[in-house]
Amino acid sequence: MKWAARLFVIVLCAVAVAPLVWYGMSSVKSSAELALVPPSLLPSSFTLDNYAELFIRRPFATYYLNSIVIASLAALLCIACASLAAYRLARAPKRFRSAATSALLVMAFFPPIVLVFPIYELVRHAGLVNQPWGLIIPYAALNLPFAVWLLTGYMEQIPYELEEAAAIDGLTAFDTYRRILLPLSMPALTTAFLLVFIFSWNEFMFALTFMNLESSRTVTVGVATLSGAFAYEIPWGLLAAGIVVSTAPLIAAVALFQKRIVAGLTAGGVKQ
Amino acid sequence: MNGVVMRVRANFWFAPAAVLVLLVFVYPVLRTLVLGFLHLNLETGFEPRLAYLDNFARLVSDTRFHNSLKITALFTAVSVALELLLGLLLALAVEGIRRGRRAARTFILIPWTLPTAIIAVLWMWIFNDQYGVINALLVKMNIVGSPVAWLGRPQTAMMTIVMADVWKAFPFVLIVLLAGLQSIPREMYEAIEIDGGKAWHKFKYVTIPYLVPFIFLALVFRIVQAFAVFDLVYVLTGGGPGGATETVSIYGYYTYMRYLDFGYGAALVVAIVVVLALISWVLYSMLLKKYEMGR
């Protein structure tokens, strides 16, 4: 039994990373080797040309910068708004809290296709098409239910006595939030930031619709539409390098913060 | 006076979140409901005209919409079932090993954190008829005689999309179910051991009852997300070949952004929400029933 369990886990770990290994290997193959049919399994050449081309011939550095700016600001805006609301929700009467939680759940279940067109109209009227804020604000809002949920659950467990002591010392409610609640909630804030950053980095439908200039694309849309940018042949080498570069920060985040990400994913489940 | 001050203070905490919710949820939902009752497209020169129930009547006779509903339901059922099965088996296996549990979780979590659109590119290449590694392996092992155009045929195109979705989403099911397994008190297993129960009894009388709420949670989340599938299909096939993989989100997106038929697009989207609400309601009442029976 034990060895079967072990084997199964190993096989699925391999399945989870094998496609990425294939891409990593393909990204360093020369264009001549990439043109082979059938493809070579292990690279026989080593070159960084594909990476160089990605940044020189394609505006990949711009895509990258756009994604970093948009995902970080969206995550910051989201947890700023969410933490204010979560602090009050955590101290609210139970009935009010569960009503708010159900409303959040309904919002979290809305498919993006339902919202994309009306939000596009808003973004266009505000003159934010092709502007980072045209994505930052929607992303912050789309991830708000999740962030409020996570932070409320965490802040509930912070003892109320701390706030009473702060009130006796003459701290205002906002100072209590800023100087006591926020520092104590750091683990949950980190988790929320990480996950909202990842969700924003990964988002496709809105980014595809709201950003139609090369100079304002995000990295996810940039890579996904790379093959369409070439009329006759699919630029495999560029694609492989693009995938490696655009997923590297996410893989690093999983390796470094596995525990925090898992905590964030299960918070909703364990709480109920 | 005091009441007013209190209310203003309370509003301060909720105001930023409320503004975001109004802009990105409440307004779009109301706007969609209004659009559903309008003709607003190329034909009307993008001048709104009252359509009464025209758009909703059109839904009833639109075979392309019915087809996309069937395709979406099939995709959702098959992918979620596979994800649940794989996630459950894997959760039990991971719980059964002692060394390397952390490493296994890290490796398996990776697909879930990657952008779905990029996962689509990844599988597009792996399944490419000429340059793809799947065909290369199959031909080498003599399983198929000549390379297969996986994305060029209706059935295999759907299969490829399902496979990519399972690859991305089984880690989520695993993480949720592992949390469920860890919530089981050790004493429950010990009690069965004292009573002379077998491993099978432990599974049937302890593991499964404790896991049921977690399975439901994973199920609801995955069904809702799978039903809205867009990125994978858009990049892998664009709904083709011949509409064989056109899901409701793809059809809705094309109606809005390609055919510029905003009134009908809104009606389509309303229908999607109604179907999703029905599914969620059925699942929720099943869960309630299960709990009442357990008591």
CA dihedral A58→A62→A66→A72, nearest 10 degrees, is 110
Question: Which tens digits make up the pLDDT trace of A169-210?
Answer: 888 888 888 888 899 999 999 999 999 999 999 999 999 999
Judged by CB atoms closer than 8 Å, whether chains meet at A173 and B9 is answered as yes
High-pLDDT (> 70) share of chain A, %: 94
Query: Which of B175, B183, B253 lies at the smallest CB-CB distance from A265?
Result: B175
Confidence class of residue B295 from pLDDT cuts 50, 70 and 90? very low
What pLDDT score was predicted for residue B34? 95
Q: Which 223-262 residues of chain A touch chain B by CB within 8 A? A: 223-224, 226-227, 234, 236, 239-240, 243, 246-247, 250-251, 253-255, 258, 261-262
Question: Which tens digits make up the pLDDT trace of A75-85?
Answer: 999 999 999 99
Q: What is the mean pLDDT of chain B?
A: 88
Judged by CB atoms closer than 8 Å, whether chains meet at B17 and A113 is answered as no
What pLDDT score was predicted for residue B283? 86
What pLDDT score was predicted for residue B89? 92
- DSSP letters, A63-92, are HHHHHHHHHHHHHHHHHHHHHHHHHHHHTS
Residue linked to tokens 């996309």? B68
Q: Which residue has the higher pLDDT, A150 or B148?
A: A150
What pLDDT score was predicted for residue A130? 94
Judged by CB atoms closer than 8 Å, whether chains meet at B97 and A254 is answered as no
In chain A, residues with a C-beta closer than 8 Å to the C-beta of B94 are 5, 9
Q: Which residue in chain B is spatially nearest to A120 when comparing CA positions?
A: B28
d(CA B208, nearest CA chain A) in Å: 16
Phi, psi of B217 (to 5 degrees): -60, -50
Distance CA B151, CA B160 (A): 7
- Report ipTM (2 d.p.): 0.90
- HSE value, Cβ hemisphere, 13 Å, CA-based, for A48: 4
High-pLDDT (> 90) share of chain A, %: 39
Distance CA B55, CA B78 (A): 31
In chain A, residues with a C-beta closer than 8 Å to the C-beta of B17 are 81-82, 84-85, 144, 148
**Residue A124 scores a pLDDT above 60:** yes
> Most confidently modeled of A32-36, A245-249, B31-35, B138-142?
B31-35
Alpha helices in A91-211 (DSSP H): 94-108, 112-125, 133-142, 144-155, 161-168, 173-176, 182-184, 186-202, 205-210
**Cβ B172 vs Cβ B226: under 8 Å:** no
> If DSSP codes are grouped into helix, strand and coil, which group holds residue B239?
coil
Residue A180 sits at the chain B interface (C-beta within 8 Å)? no
d(CA A119, nearest CA chain B) in Å: 6
What burial class does residue A17 get, using C-beta atoms within 10 Å of its C-beta: 0-12 exposed, 13-18 middle, 19+ buried? middle
Nearest to residue A205, comparing CAs of B111, B268, B166, B249? B249
Judged by CB atoms closer than 8 Å, whether chains meet at B23 and A173 is answered as no
Judged by CB atoms closer than 8 Å, whether chains meet at A19 and B126 is answered as yes
**Residue A252 scores a pLDDT above 70:** yes
Residue A90 sits at the chain B interface (C-beta within 8 Å)? no
d(CA A162, nearest CA chain B) in Å: 19
What pLDDT score was predicted for residue A260? 85
- Could you tell me the pTM of the whole model? 0.91
What pLDDT score was predicted for residue A269? 46
Question: Which tens digits make up the pLDDT trace of B65-101?
Answer: 999 999 999 999 999 999 999 999 999 998 888 788 8
Q: Which residue has the higher pLDDT, A33 or A129?
A: A129
Judged by CB atoms closer than 8 Å, whether chains meet at A17 and B113 is answered as no
DSSP B38: E
Question: Which tens digits make up the pLDDT trace of B161-215?
Answer: 999 999 999 999 999 999 888 888 888 888 888 888 777 888 888 888 889 888 9
CB atoms within 10 A of CB A42: 6
Question: Which tens digits make up the pLDDT trace of B223-267?
Answer: 999 999 999 999 999 888 888 999 999 999 999 999 999 999 999
For residues B157-162, give the mean pLDDT: 94
CB atoms within 10 A of CB B7: 10
Confidence class of residue A28 from pLDDT cuts 50, 70 and 90? confident
**Residue A237 scores a pLDDT above 90:** no
Alpha helices in B38-114 (DSSP H): 54-61, 63-96, 101-113
Residue A266 sits at the chain B interface (C-beta within 8 Å)? yes
- Rounded to the nearest 5 degrees, what angle is found at the Cα of A149, between the Cα atoms of A145 and A151? 120
Q: Which residue has the higher pLDDT, B32 or A261?
A: B32
In chain A, residues with a C-beta closer than 8 Å to the C-beta of B108 are 12-13, 16
Distance CA B105, CA A255 (A): 10
**Residue B138 scores a pLDDT above 60:** yes
**Residue B29 scores a pLDDT above 70:** yes
What pLDDT score was predicted for residue B270? 96
Distance CA B117, CA B168 (A): 11
CB atoms within 10 A of CB A54: 28
Judged by CB atoms closer than 8 Å, whether chains meet at A38 and B135 is answered as yes
**Residue A71 scores a pLDDT above 90:** yes
Q: Which residues contact B24 (CB under 8 A, 6 or more apart)?
A: A115, A119, A137, A138, A141, A142
What pLDDT score was predicted for residue A271? 40
Judged by CB atoms closer than 8 Å, whether chains meet at B27 and A115 is answered as no
What pLDDT score was predicted for residue B278? 93
